[in-house]
Structure 1
Amino acid sequence: MKRKEFLISIFLPSLGGGGAEKVALKLAEGFVNRGFNVDLVLLKAEGPYLNLIPKKCTLYVLNSRRALFSLFKLVKYLKSRKPSVFISNLTHLNIVSLLTKLLFTNKIKFVIVEHLNFTKSFKYKRGMKKYFLYFMMKSFYPYADKIIAVSQGVAMDFESLLPGVKQKIKVIYNPIPVDEIIEKSKEPLNHPWFKDSQIPVILSAGRLSSQKDFGTLMKAFSLIRKELKSRLVILGEGEERKNLENLAKSLGIYEDILMPGFVDNPYKFMSKASVFVLSSIYEGFANVIVEAMACGLSVVSTDCESGPREILEDGKYGKLVPVGDPEALAKATMETIKNPYDKEFLILRARDFSVEAAVSKYLEIIE
């Protein structure tokens, strides 16, 4: 089939400011640049990334509050558009997508993408919903034509959870647009903290959620401040904001912490910070580590499952510390501030995760 006759559909809940959404948009752009038709299918037309939809993509909005409620609208979409391949992201959407495959018999290839280490995320989820989710995964994931894992750790986790789908799993690292990031990192940043080179700025970014464990980062920062005058900036928004603000006040570090919320261009912060710190309890790939490295910024990360150890190659490109250990995090951060990694060394590593490489690997399995 000619590429101009080949339709790729990418399914997302919305275009909220998360890593999965950013990755999907970069893949869509990559497919369009290779001459493919691309539909972007959303449950809801909302989120800060709406203005980043590639011009040649066609947007379809199902107008559903929940994934399950979109089932029949999704079947209608598939009957109407008849895509060659349907790429679904995130567990709840993956389940609904595979359910539509059973209801819709047209020869569409269904590819699902898993962005998290399910075992670790399962451990920290509350209530009975997680057991239902696992049951649905066991029931429907075997019907996927391919399962994309965003890291080796995610792949290994799914092989242990669902051994029957092992042959369908393929690891494709998330695409990171390094040159685009470098260009955006050159934009001016008009904040006094980033103009005083005498006081180091520790940077982190991500949804303000329990998964990111910014509480441990704040505790580490309080230890750092006892030995080194410094400041902490956390980019992102989320349900833990109030708790984190209260923790900062109780630790006596509130005046030296900045939490500006979601920002359109985090890279201008990265290019001017002293070190980037990821404090997560679990991840799938940790895009933000590669993004920081693309800006030439040294990284300290928890050795969480999955992603950081693979990206940093067992500590070659940045220090790894145990999860939930503020003392170890503080020590590694101070060492990195005093002895940062070579910028070109980090940028070169970031280029290993290019958009072009990811798009080529996707096309190997869907063409």
Structure 2
Amino acid sequence: MAQKTGGSTRSKLHRIGSLFSERYARPTVSERSNLEVDVVDTVRDVGKEQWNGIVDRSSRGSVFHRYEWLDAIETGLNYTPRHLVVTKDGNRIGLMPNFVVEIEKTPFNRLSSLYPGFGGPLLPTDPKESLECIVETVPKLCRGTTIVHQIRGLDTSYLRYNDALQSWGYRPFRRECRFLLDLTKGHEQLLEDMSRTRRRGIERGRDADYEIVEEELTRENLQRFYRTYERVMDRVDGDVYPFSFFEQLQAMESRFLLLTIRIDGEYAGGMLEVLDDEHDAVHGFFAAVPREYFDDHASELLYDHVFQWGIEHGYETYDFGSTNTDFEDGVYRFKEGFGGRAVPVLVWERGCSPLWKLVKAGRSLYWPYYT
């Protein structure tokens, strides 16, 4: 935790890189390279400029790694941070954000890099040595009810770490995918590549009296969006993020696109899109369209608008966000109909407690294809 002294905040970093020299007979990589790992209790202990500087230097850095996104999770969701920062000769050269989050349907927690969003290590300098330092440190962070570490990579570039991670006890876990739409094809080709159902939905929706507006990320606009988002998530029995999280996102307003659709002059829902400028991608992270506007094809109209917006603003990819991998699921089929390419969400898990085996066995009862 940060300690306050005389009205100022002083960082409290736990240096534990040297602890591993006592565990191994041979010298560790961290000793040979003068590397240390700091366990950071809040991203604010590092500071925006230094943190984002590492993100900017890494080819795998994304909007979800940035200081502002992590700060919104810390302050808006109140998840416990356990960020790892690699230093060499006193200089910060790499990082991996982590939060302690609940494991669904259990009383246990997981250490996740990263949720919500996608994380994983950013190691632009000394990647081999830095990765070894990080994975050596992880078990120290899994105590009590925190029984597993999970890495959620944003894209297939994280496959470069697969063999190394598996050698350290991480195992791939595949139960989610994302549909990626290639915006460089242009709008007309996107329409042509869609299923007949999605294309027809857009065409029929255009016959209505509708308007789509790009909104400012004001508290009032967010509250209106949130009320609908809350209704939608309750209807589908989904987890609802508190409004405090959405409020914190205002600090990175330039990385969001808030769209509102009105049909016959009435508010008919909206979408809150995350702009990943690091990867020239638009992420469909939050959507809120009430059921009463399904027949007006409000969702199809919103998606079609954001595709065109992305093309006009030079983005290369539209990412529909995570969904399960069941081809019979309605959400899967809906997203698939827009013609995107399905790619797996790359997840690795490493048990840090004997209890993890019991949780995995229980998980197989409600996810029978994933053990």
Q: State the TM-score, normalizing by the size of structure 2.
A: 0.31
The structure carrying a bigger strand percent of its residues is: 2
More contact order relative to length (CA 8 Å, sep ≥ 6):
2
Q: State the TM-score, normalizing by the size of structure 1.
A: 0.31
Rg: which structure is higher? 2
